[in-house]
Amino acid sequence: MSQVIDKAKSAFKAKFNTEPTMSAYAPGRVNIIGEHTDYNGGFVLPCAIKYGTGIAARENGTNKMRVLACDINNDFDEFEIGADIPKHPDKLWVNYLRGMTGLIAKKYPGKVKGLDLAICGDIPQGAGLSSSASLEVSFGHLVSSAFELGIALQDVALMGQAAEAYIGMKCGIMDQTISACGTADHALCIDCRSLKLTQVPVPSNLVVMVINSNVKHQLVGSEYNDRRESCEKAAKIMGVELLRDADLALLEKFKDQMDEVTYRRARHVITEDERVLKAMDAFAKGDLAVLADLMYQSHLSEKNDFEIVVKETDALVEIVHKTLGEGKHAARQTGGGFGGSIVAVVEPENVQKVTDAINAQYKAISGLDATIFETKACNGAQFARL
């Protein structure tokens, strides 16, 4: 955390020729289990990772946000503050900020003033680790704190989700909520309908590893929204508001009224919700054997029913599986899918074994090097006056 904030502070000084007066930070996330359940009103179990987005800022006395993006080749953009801010035609990164600013300005008319901002992050982009949610939450928390708007962290998360919709990504609430509300050494079980949060301690006998396939996923595309539409279609056919309200018995009852793809999409979500609740319990107890089975089932369901697994992430899961054997690891593709990372929960003495096996085998399968890191569960969004 401190590294990206320090980088943002120096970049701020170099760009704006003055000292920043505040900073903010929000982490990325890795999802332990519960994929594509959030927008179906179901359950998820993510934790905040050690990488995130840092911002250094200062009021600039204008009605404009002036933003330096250190990680996008020091790209710069400025835009007028107001309730209806047009999207930039080709700079996706700034549209997250335009979206957030518009939402906050609409809710708090006249309160948001111009800021100079320098933004630096260290979450690998396209890795399924929520770099965009961390940007939205870090910025939203900064604006709320700078102008004493007192927006609750869960509401900052909801605004982040709305900013994604402004851009065209109809995502759920998981990524922004964990980025805003994560607690050190805990995963967070989110009931995505009631938005009730339950902290689940990371057991001391286990380590969370993230293995990035380096196959970039880009979710502002049709695949994600397509999956969501199939889920909505299945819920409609079964006469329930959300797939959260369905169980397998109901799904079987309506099987004949659905096309085969819609049926399988719904089966993934319904079975995944059940797995999250069981996994939450196994995780809290440090019961690796039970967690291993649930996470492997989750991976297979993502692969066969939801069809969001690519061959590279599948290969990574299989390497971990073969290296440690049944019950000795819990691994699955994490995040929105179509590339990105896998998450593996293992005993500390097995981290090296997994790392060596991936380094030895993955390139021959994919032509790529994987990036591997261990992470503690970290705190969510933070703000400081400097």
Distance CA 121, CA 49 (A): 13
Q: How far is the CB of 257 from ligand GLA (least distance, A)?
A: 26
20 or 52: CB nearest ligand GLA: 52
Is residue 293 part of the annotated active site? The answer reads no
Can you spell out the DSSP letters for 57-125?
EEE-SSSEEEEEETTTTTEEEEEE-SSSPPPPSS-HHHHHHHHHHHHHHHHSTTT---EEEEEEE-SPT
Long-range contacts of 109-114 (CB under 8 A, 24+ apart): 109/83, 111/147, 111/149, 112/81, 112/143, 112/147, 113/59, 113/61, 113/63, 113/81, 113/147, 114/59, 114/60, 114/61, 114/62, 114/63, 114/64, 114/65, 114/66, 114/81
57 or 189: CB nearest ligand GLA: 189
Q: How far is the CB of 72 from ligand GLA (least distance, A)?
A: 20
Rg (CA), the chain: 21
Q: How far is the CB of 371 from ligand GLA (least distance, A)?
A: 18
Distance CA 126, CA 219 (A): 8
Integer angstrom CA distances of residue 278 from 202, 294, 305:
15, 8, 20
Q: Which of 175, 287, 293, 314 is catalytic?
A: 175
12 or 39: CB nearest ligand GLA: 39
77 or 229: CB nearest ligand GLA: 229
Write out the residues near ligand GLA by the rule CB under 6 A.
35-36, 38-39, 171-172, 174-175, 335-336
102 or 160: CB nearest ligand GLA: 160
Q: How far is the CB of 105 from ligand GLA (least distance, A)?
A: 24
Can you spell out the DSSP letters for 331-343?
EEE-SS-SSSEEE
39 or 139: CB nearest ligand GLA: 39
Q: How far is the CB of 34 from ligand GLA (least distance, A)?
A: 7
Q: Is 17 exposed, middle or buried (0-12, 13-18, 19+ CB in 10 A)?
A: exposed
Q: How far is the CB of 153 from ligand GLA (least distance, A)?
A: 17
Cite the DSSP H helix spans in the chain.
Answer: 2-16, 92-107, 131-146, 153-167, 174-181, 222-238, 248-254, 260-285, 288-304, 311-324, 351-366
For the annotated catalytic residues, the residue numbers are 175
